[in-house]
Every structure is written in structure tokens, then in C-alpha cells.
Structure 1
Amino acid sequence: MLSQSKFLGLRRCHRLLPPSLYSSENDAESTVTHVVELLQHPTSEWDYDKLRPFLVDASHHLLQITIRLNSIPKALDFLNFLRDKTDTHHPQALSYAFEGALKLASRCPTSQDELLMLRSYRKSHACTIALTANSAYLLLQCLVKSQRLDDALLLFKELDPSSKSFRICNGLLRGLFKSGRTDDALHVLDEMLERGSGFPPDGFTGEIVFRELAKRVRPGRVFPDEEIVGLVTKLCEHGVFPDALRLTQMITRLCGNRKNGVAWELLHAVMRLGGAVVVEAVSCNALLAGLGRERDIQRMNKLVAEMEEMRVKPSVVTFGLLVNHLCKARRIDEALEVFERLRGKEGNRVGVEPDVILFNNLIDGLCKVGRVEHAFSLFEEMKTKSKRRPNVVTYNCLIDGFCKAGNIGKARDLISEMIEEVVQPSVVTLNTLVDGLCKHGQVHIAVEFFNEMKEKGLKGNGVTYTAIVSAFCGVGKIDKAIEYFDEMLRSGCTPDAVVYYSLISGLSIAGRMDDASAVVSKLKQAGFGLDRACYIVLLSGFCKKNKPERVYKMLKEVEETEVNLDIATYNTLVSYLSEIGDFTTASKVMKRMIKEGHEPSVVTYGAIIHAYCLKENVDEAMEIFEEMCSRSKVPPPNTLIYNILIDVLCKNDNVERAVSLMNDMKIKRVPPNTTTYNAILKGVRDKKMLQTAMELVDRMIEDACHPDYITMEILSEWLTAVGETEKLRCFVQGYPVSQPASSQTSVCF
């Protein structure tokens, strides 16, 4: 039996051939067979007069005749014969014969070589052989497969518009996109999209283009996200719409590139042109997910409303996404409103049954804002009224909520209920309760629970041990912390940076700096680096333990890693380095401190001044003092700093400068104390500056600084020795003593 295509071909031939010659389909077949038999003779014996009726009047038969020759060389001989003998008024004869030769070549094992050879043959006879649509398709496919895309484009441009078809264009588009020649592909597509084009895009065109637009990575130039909307819109206007998969992929890609606005335009363009017939909930869900990541709740609500208006039926995922992101944004009441609609309250128009994920998101959201009792009532409703049973995630959310609310007993009850309901606790369940117990100071109960779970086959992980180790460090149980750290290593759990940091901090605070250093070594061997908090606690610990070599090593690491310390640590370092006499390093540390934006405080300057004074480097101490006074952002020196300087100046026989500092204190309204006066009085006594001493004594009375035994000892010995006992008596009674003797006596009495 003849195939349908052959039957249609013969019917077309009947319209061309004389009825007397071909009165039936069998006659047509016999004619083709007859001509093929004649062509089996040597080409020198081919009789044109005998073949002419079949070759001219029935040119459609030439396609089948050429194919039936079953030989490319024979087909080429036949083409040459036709070109030489056929009347120029029948150019279609050569076109059909050439198409037959191409089809014959396409069936050969070396079809690509044979087709390229026929292409070369045609190029040498380009003026006489016009291509049919099928011939053009075969040649273009061959050129595309052989990566001769420039030749393919040239051939496409040469084709008569009547020879072009969407099948030809689709094949060319596929090859161009695959090779990364996006611009050339878009030019071909533009030609298809032109109004009145005889080869408009079809479903296959759409699949090729939409698949390309959905790719995250593609060869050739990057396709701008902003151009996607326009291109998809043009195809939709020609009735070519992306299916749910491709549309979802394009939206997902755009949202992944943080182009939510473009994704919004794309979806709405397809919705506008195709409506609910084209757009499905899965594509809207992809956009909802992208909007959710950007916390764009307003447009999420708007999209869900538009879906309902356009009768795009939402899925449970649609509302799950909305509820999830409303909960993450702490807009729990809005999430509850969405949930109530799903359950049929306030008019259920959506007909979607909430799933366990949606329940879990809502319960977790309620717990995170402290509404644990509300979450628990929803959990109870889920058990009794819903078709969805609580799973391990549901219990974990509630356990975490009760732990954070301080209701540890309820959290433990939920774990017992889980076991009764045959819901297997997970390591997350374990970690949640252990962490809750530890944070509420019940680390020993946490350990008991952990051991209980281990007996039931539930092993902990790094998070479990980290919580326990950190908790023991927090309450100063360093040996216990180390015990569980060692158990963690034995159990095969890989410690994370947090557990190392906790141990280092705990050991440093406990003053066990050698042990802390050992943990630091382990941390570095594990591939971690110290964080800012570790550097701070280690530096403070090494300073307190007077380990200068460790301090220097740590400072070098801090400089190399460019870690910014806090002002308290810088003060500690400056103070310690100054105390050990390393003023050069202390100065460097202070400069680094200023460079990082920390203004040295009174404490910082005080530490250096005090250290210089202890080393009796008075001039350096005064230079630091003057620098401190010149910095506008630093508060004025306090009483302690003045006392240190006045004392050292007096001891170094520079009483005049000490007195000047006393005057400076008065100007800056820094209140002196008894220690201040004792230091200056010792100095003026040694310099026998009696009048100055009397003035200072009067100021002491004015400042309400009560003399102590040191004050009385200095004045009693000195004033008695110089015969000024009356002044001493006036001072004790609280009267001025710097007046002349005559008036002074009257004042005292």
C-alpha cells in the first residue's frame, strides 16, 4: 500500500500529467518504475525523446524518480542530463530532482558529506537550480549540524520568501542559540515575527526561544533580563505562549538575579495576553517566592488577589508562601487571616486544604513572636480537627517556642508526647531542648536529657556539644567543658568555630592561659581563625598573667589579620605595655587605636602617664599630659592623673610646676582631694615655701577636703618647727591661715 504522503504526491501528479497516460495511481507508480529502469542504462544510452513526456509534463515525479535511483553519482548524472535537456520553461523539474537527490543523500551513512557535496554542486549551478522548501530545510539542517552557521545564514538570506517555512527557521534558530550566536538568532526570529510573514512562529519556535530564555548559563552573549519581557510579549501576540514549566523557569531565573520587577512584568504580560488558560499557579508561586525573599509583602498580596480575579486557581503552595513570608515579617495577624480563609471562615472561596507545612510555618511564626499559647492551641486543633497530623517539625517549633518562653517543663512534656505519638525525635529536637536548658542555667539537666536520648539511640552532633560546652564555660565549669569537648572529638563530631571560641573565652577568663593557647592551636589546625572576641579575651588574659611574649605574638596576628579591637582592650594593652616599660609599643598601639576611630580616653592617657611616672620619666609624662589636654575629644584630666603628676613633680624637686598644676586644676574645675593636698604640701615643705603652703591650706579648707593623719603629720612637724603653732590651731578649727599674724589671732579667737 502507498503511504499517505506518496498518495498525496501522486494526486498532485495527476493534475499535471495527461489523463491518457496516467489514469490511476497504479499507472503513476508504474511510470516511475519504468523511468527508473530506463535510467539504469549507461548515460550515453539515455533517450531524451522517450523520457521527455515523463520529465516535463510530470515534473513532480522527478522527486521519486531521483530517490529511486539509489545512487548519488547516478542522481548527479540525472541532474546534469536534465539541466542540459530540459526546457527552460520547466525550471521546477531541476528543483524536484535536486530535492530527490538531497533526500537520497540524507539516507546515506555519510549523509553530511553527501549533502555538502550536493550543496557545492548547486552552488556551481546556482542560476538554474531553485530550492524547494524541503531542499532548503535539508541543506540548512546539514550546515547547522556541521557548524557552518555563516553558510547557513547566507543560504537563508538567499532563499525566496516562498521557500522559507517555520520548520526551516526553527532548525536555524536551534543551531544559532546552541552555538551562542544570540544576535543572529534574534534576527531570524524578527523576520518570523514581521507582520505578513509567510512563516510565523509556531509552538516549536516558542519552545526553542523560551528554553533559551529560561537558561541560567548559556554560551555567547548574555541575554539582558530586561529584553525578555518584550520578546515573550511578541511571541504571545502571535499566539505562541510559554508552557507552565518554561514560564516558571524564566520567572525563577529573573528572581534569582534579583530582577523581581522584570519577573512581575513578564508574568503580567502573559496573564494579559493568555489569561488563566496559559498561566498556572506554579508560575505565580515562583514569583511569590522571589517577592518573599525581598520581603515585598504588598505585591505578594496583590498577586494572590489578581490570581483570584483571573480565576488562576491557587495551590496550597501559593498560600504557604504567603503565610511563610508574612510570619517571617512578623505580620502574624495577616498570616492568620489568610489561614482562616483557607479553613472556610469568612467565606472560603479558594477551596484549598492547608497542608502540614503551612501549619508548621504558622506555628513557628507564632512562637517566634512569643505567642506560644496561641501556637499550642493551633497545634491541638491540628491534632483533633485537621486531616494533617503534626510531624517532627511541628513539635520542634513548639519545643523551641516553650524553651524561649522559659517553660522548660512544657517543652519536655512535648518530647514525651512525641514518643507516645510515634513521632521520632530528631537531632534538632535534642538540640532545641538542650540549648533551652543550657540558656536557662540548667546545664546539668541538659546533660541528663542528652544521656537519656543517647540511650534511646539518638546521637548528638556538633550543635549539641557546642551548647553544653558553652554552657559549662559560662558558669565557670571549665573542666566539665573540656570533658565534653573531648567526648565530642571521640564521638566523631567535628567542632565548629563556636565551640573553640567558647573554650578559649572560658579558659582565658579563668586565667588558664596555657590551656587557652593549646585550644587556639587546635582551632588553627582545624582551619579556623580567631575572631575579634577571641583576640580581645586572649590579649586581656595574657596581660593579666604578665606574659609579654604572648602579648607581642598576639598583637602581630591582630595587625596581620587587620582585626579591630575594642577601646577597653586597647586601654588594657596601653596600660600593660606602659607598666612593663615598653613605651614604644604602647605608643604604636595608641596610634593604631586612633587610626581605627577609637579616641583615647582619660583611662588610656592615665595609664601611660602613670607608667612614665613610675619610671620617673617626668618630662615624657608631662608631654603625654599636654597632648591629652590639647585633644578636644578627650575629657579633661581627672583628679587621679593630677595627683600622679603633682606627686612625681614634687618628688623630683619641681614644686613650682606642681603648684602650677594645682592652679590648672582650679581653672578646669577638677576637684582636688586630700591626696592631692598631701602631695603638694610635702613638696612645698621640702622647698620651705611657707606662704605657698598657707595659701594651699586655705584652699584645702575652701574645697572641704578634710585633713587626714598624713596632712596633720606634715603640718604639725613643719609649723611647730617654724613657730607657727597658732596657724596650725586655726587650720584645725577650720579658719584661714594665710592672713597676717595680728589679724589671724583675732579671727581664731
Structure 2
Amino acid sequence: MLLHKAHQFRRAYSTASSLCWRTNIKQAQLASQISYALLQRRNWVPLLRNLSLFPKLSPSLFLQILHKTQNNPQVSLEFFNWAKVNLRFEPDLKSNCQIIRVSLGSGLVRPVKPILDSLIQTHPVSELVQCITLACKGTDSQSTTLSFVLGCYSRKGLFREGLEVFRKMNVLGCVPSVVACNALLNAIQRENEIRLAWCFYGLMIRNGVLPDRFTWSLVAQILCKDGKFERILRLLDLNIYNSMVYNLLVDGYSKSGNFDAAFSHLNEMCDRKVDPDFSTYSSILDGACKLGNVEVVERVTSVMVEKKLLPNCPLSEYDSVVEKLCDLGKTHAAEMFFKKACDEKIGLQDGTYGLMLKALTNEVRTKEAISVYRLISERGIVVDGSSYHAFADVLCKEERSEEGFELLMDVISRGCSPSASELSSFISFLCRRGRWREAEYLLNVVLDKGLLPDLICCSPLVGRYCSGRQIDSAIALHNKMEKLNGSLDVTTYNVLLSGLFAARRIEEAMRVFDYMRRHNLMSSASFTIMIRGLCGVKELRKAMKIHDEMLKMRLKPDAATYKRLISGFQVTLSNLETRNEGDEAK
């Protein structure tokens, strides 16, 4: 019997092995056919269509094809993209990493960037780096490929993930390219992580990455942000300079009002054949406008006209001049031209008003932004939504007066609203200052527009409604939030439940508790309030059911509270028995 079973097992195993072997042979033959067509035929699409590859093209088959065609990366990449579109091929992480490695080895950087971008969105950095590392095993492309990954993370502003890639490269003994390191350093300093930027710069040097011109430009920017402006001069002494370094110096001196030093470095740029551009002169112009230095304004404007950076007669080109200055963040200079145009009654484009509003808002020049907004309203000008959104955000943060509130309501009436976090912060501020009517009105406007603020700003209003016996208002607010699938915090819900039971609104209390249950927002106190409230209205069955649910969820209160809760059941039962006996006696 045992020998018979062993024989059957051997036959089954032999059959399975044979089938697997045949499948592998067929797949290898198909890979050879496809590879031959790709490499030998220019128009290989009709041939591949005749092979009826869908749904045969699996990741393992693709990797065999890639192995045979990798000496012609352009063809490999074209087939990869064609298969995804026409064969609905779904490459796995390994296939994606291999095609990235092969393509980068041939300098096909731009075509594979979308592939890596999608992987960055769908995979953790550790998993992606590990797979890239395995794909590069046995080749000399590890540093190049990982540098590309580092650069992609950095250019997306994901500097923390970029630092993890850099750390992994350091462990593997790979030296990243200076281009990738510059991208990461730039991402860090853009987020104003100055201390971290200096630490990473030190790591670059220790790991043997040689700084280039762009690295020194970034160092100069970090020095400016770190308040070490004068140290930039040392770079010039070391003969390290470019237009960005000089622009930083000119801008810094102009902001501080040291126009002699600004013009001196401007002349030095010319001597060193570093051409000052519109941005360089705009820095001096902006500083002079800010400080009201008319002489410097006239001087630099004259030079800019001479160098054809400004038109001889700017009347017809105010729009383009204001746009350039706004894009550079030179709001004082932009404001000068904007006011001139308005004073001289020169018709500006609607978009110019929007640019001016947004630029002033970004620089948190709130009073000036309000003036431009009033001008927009008076003249019936329509600007883009992003300008309104930016203005609304700054009103929430910086202008919380009654005037600011009225302006915010006006912006919202135009169909534009600030971010939910800024609105929530403003509503909370109104509540803290006791400006309840404004807070209530703003919150209702926000909810009616389908926007969901942070729950923390709703709690004070619900508490005020319940303490003032305005239960209808509290329920109305909750109903609006429920429509948007929003919720309050547990503490506020407990206050609402207590208020509903105090007002004998039992059905609404049950409905609110059900909503809390669906959103997993129940606490021991919530159950205690419900049980006491239901016992108070003689709803013992419902109270017992909620009591059992409380125990099941392990939300039993402390011993003293629980003892009082149970005694509530006993008192209610005793009262019911007494009432029943009285009814029988009658």
C-alpha cells in the first residue's frame, strides 16, 4: 500500500515538473521570438500583434526580453511603454527598476523620469532603494541610478526621503553625484531647515562630493538665511562667484539701505564680466522704493531704461513690468509702477490687479493688499481664484479685526475661501474673544459651502449652545457637519449628549450616540451619560443594552462611578415596582 502511494506521488511530482519545464521552455522561446523582432525589425509592432501576447506578457517574461535587448536600451524602453498601453502590461517593482537601470545607462534620463515618479508615489523609499540596489547588482551603474533616485526625491521637495536615500548610498559605499546632492541641499534650504542644511553640506564634503558653482550659490543662500551675510564676501575673496552670489549681495545691501555697497558690487559684476540682469537692478529699485530714496529710484530706473531692461515709455507696458516685479517678489517696486498707472488712469489688465494682490499677500503686506482689494471691488474687476484664496488666508492670519471679518465675508461671497485650517484658526480666535455672532455666522457660511473646518473650532460653539439651552442650534450645527461626514471631539459630544438629556430630547440623543458609534468616538464618559440619561427616563432596556456594549468594549468606568451607575438601575427598578404596586392597589 505504502509503495503504491509512493509511486503515485512520484508520478504526480514528475508530471508537475514536466509541465513546469515545458512552460519555461515555451516562455524562453517566446522571449527569443519577441527579442529577435525588436532587434531586427524597425516596424516590429505588426509582428508582435500576430503573436497575441495579451495576456501572456508577465513580469518574468518581460525580464527575459529585457535581458536579451538591454544592449539597445531605446528599443527596450519603447517596447516597455508600448506593452503597457497596448497589452495592458502591469510591470512589478522589479521590472520597473530594471528598465530604469538599463535606460539610465544609455542616458535616457527624461523618458524614465515618469516611471520613477510613479514608483515614488506608490512605494516606500526603503523598498524602492532596495529593489534599485538589487537591479544594479553586478553592474557599475549603482551610483548613477541611486543618484537619479536621490535627485527625483529632492526635486519634489521630499528632502527627508532624499536624506534616507543618501544614507543608504553611504552604507553601500556609493558616492552620489554633485547634481543630486545640490538638489537635496536646495530642497532642505527651501524649507528653511538651516541647521540641517549645514549638516548635510558637511556630509557632502566628508563623502568626497566636490562642490561646483551651483553648490556655492546654495551655500551663499544658506548664509543669507542664517544671518551671516558678510561671510558671502569671503566667497568672492576665494574667487568663487556667479550671478546668483552677486544678486544675493546686491539684494542684501539694498534691503539694508546700503546703496553705495550695492552699486559697488554691481560695478564689480561688470568688471568680472558677470552680466547683471533684471533681477539684480530690481533689487536696488525695490530697496529704494521701500525706503523712499527718490534719488536712487531715479538713478537705477535710468540705468534699466538705458540697458533696455525697462521700456523708454512704460505707459503701454506697465502690465509686463508689474508682472516681472511681482514674480520676483519685488513688491515695493511693483507697487510704485502700479500706483503710477492708477494715478495716470492707465488701463491695466485684470490679471495685473490679481498679480499685485497676490504678491502683496505673499509678502504679508496686509494693509497694501486690502487697498488693492478695495480697488478691485470698486472697479468691478475679476481676478483669478488663487489671488482671492491667498488674500483670504492672510486675512485669517493677520487681519482679525471687524474690518478683516467683513472683507473675509466679501471674499467668500465671491466663491473663494481660505484653507480649512486658516478658517478654523480664525473661528477659534473669534470664540476666544467672545465674538460669538461672528464665529457662528462664519462657521455656518463655511458649512453651507460644503467646507469642513477642523473640529476644534466647533467645540466652543457647541458648549455655548448647550450651556445656554440652545439645543436646537447645537443639533443644527451637528446636522450640517454630519452631512459633510464631519465630527466633533469626544468631549464635545459628551457635552451635547448631556444637554440633550437635560432637554428630554431622547431620540436625538440616541441618534447622536449612533453617529458617535459609527465614527468610533465613544469614551467611558459617553456610556455613563447615556446610561444615566436613559435610566432617568425609565428606558431600562436601552440602558442595559448600552451597559453591555460598554463592558464588551472594555470602557467600564472607575469603581466609584460604576457603583453609582448600577445604583441608578436599582433606584429606577425600585421606583417602577412602587408605581406598579400603587397601580394595583387602586
TM range (shorter): 0.3 to 0.5
TM-score computed with the length of structure 2 as normaliser? 0.47
Report the structure number with the largest CA radius of gyration.
Answer: 1
